[in-house]
């Protein structure tokens, strides 16, 4: 994946786009931004949580501070392929992300079996503390999506990503087991994220206003968790109805 960045600090704003608006927007953005060299990529994640989903339940209450832990790969990996362990925190609207690059097998032993397989370092110490604090943490949900990313021609820290085909499942929580599960978005709908280190450029704000594109509160893990609750409640109702 080229040069890896291991720490991030930025603001993130999210928007849901219908197909027609997406096509107009991505064409207009190319006056100011460029699609990065990777083109369309698939990102696969395992999110970790406690058995009672303490982390995502707290996150959905929109606290001042929240945090999450995930294991990420680019594409469906094999055991020896690169993987990233990411600790993501959000405080007063600012996102802080810390991550370690390792191989998938070592990451799984570390996260699934609580065995020390990673090199020592500050970021690992932070993840160790997180795992110790949430002592019963475990794999909780698989989420994958296809992504196109753009970066600013003048401001390289300005990034816009478009995610589609968001898929989730709560079983078979291994990255190497492939992409399958439940769809999160409507057909051809896109989730756009604007990632900025400072204020949004004036040209972008004007463009969004012109196209009537407005920010929304959207968490892939959060929305998937809520959909899973809906499915479980429906199953319970059906069981009671036909008992």
Residue 200 DSSP symbol: P
What CA–CA distance (Å, rounded) separates 148 from 163?
A: 7
pLDDT at position 236: 60
C-alpha 149/C-alpha 151 separation (Å) is: 7
Q: 7-241 falls under which CATH superfamily? A: VTC, catalytic tunnel domain (3.20.100.30)
> What confidence score (pLDDT) does residue 240 get?
45
Provide the pLDDT for residue 1. Answer: 38
Neighbours of 7 (CB within 10 A): 10
Q: What are the structural domain ranges in the chain?
A: 7-241
List of long-range contacts for 200-207, beta carbons under 8 Å, 24+ apart:
200/13, 201/32, 201/152, 201/155, 201/158, 203/32, 204/32, 207/25, 207/28, 207/29
Token digits of residue 132: 């110790």
Q: What is the pLDDT along the chain (243 residues), one digit of tens a residue?
A: 334 547 778 999 999 999 999 999 999 999 999 999 999 999 999 999 999 999 999 999 999 999 999 999 999 999 999 999 999 999 988 999 999 999 999 999 999 999 999 999 999 999 999 999 999 999 999 999 999 999 999 998 899 999 999 999 999 999 999 999 999 999 999 999 999 988 899 999 999 999 999 999 999 999 999 999 998 887 565 554 444
What pLDDT does 238 receive? Answer: 55
Confidence (pLDDT) at 199: 87
The pLDDT value recorded for residue 122 is 94
Q: Which of 225, 69, 226 is nearest to 137 (CA)?
A: 69
Q: For position 4, what pLDDT does the model report?
A: 53
């Amino acid at each position: 994946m080229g040069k890896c960045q291991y720490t991030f600090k930025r603001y993130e704003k999210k928007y849901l786009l219908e197909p027609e608006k997406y096509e107009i927007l991505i064409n207009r953005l190319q006056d100011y931004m460029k699609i990065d060299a990777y083109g369309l990529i698939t990102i696969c994640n395992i999110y970790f949580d406690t058995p009672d989903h303490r982390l995502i339940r707290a996150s959905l209450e929109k606290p001042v501070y929240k945090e999450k832990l995930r294991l990420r790969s680019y594409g469906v990996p094999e055991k020896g392929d690169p993987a990233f362990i990411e600790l993501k925190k959000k405080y007063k609207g600012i996102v802080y992300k810390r991550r370690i690059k390792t191989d998938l097998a070592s990451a799984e032993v570390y996260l699934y079996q609580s065995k020390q397989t990673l090199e020592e370092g500050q970021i690992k110490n932070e993840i160790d503390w997180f795992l110790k604090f949430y002592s019963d943490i475990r794999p909780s949900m698989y989420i994958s999506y296809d992504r196109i990313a753009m970066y600013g021609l003048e401001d390289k820290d300005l990034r816009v990503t478009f995610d589609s085909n968001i898929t989730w499942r709560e079983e078979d929580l291994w990255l190497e087991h492939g992409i399958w599960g439940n769809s999160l978005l409507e057909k051809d709908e896109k989730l756009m994220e604007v990632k900025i280190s400072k204020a949004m450029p004036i040209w972008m704000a004007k463009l969004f206003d012109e196209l009537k594109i407005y920010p929304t509160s959207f968490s892939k893990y959060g929305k998937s968790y809520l959909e899973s609750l809906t499915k479980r409640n429906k199953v319970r109702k059906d069981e009671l109805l036909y008992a």
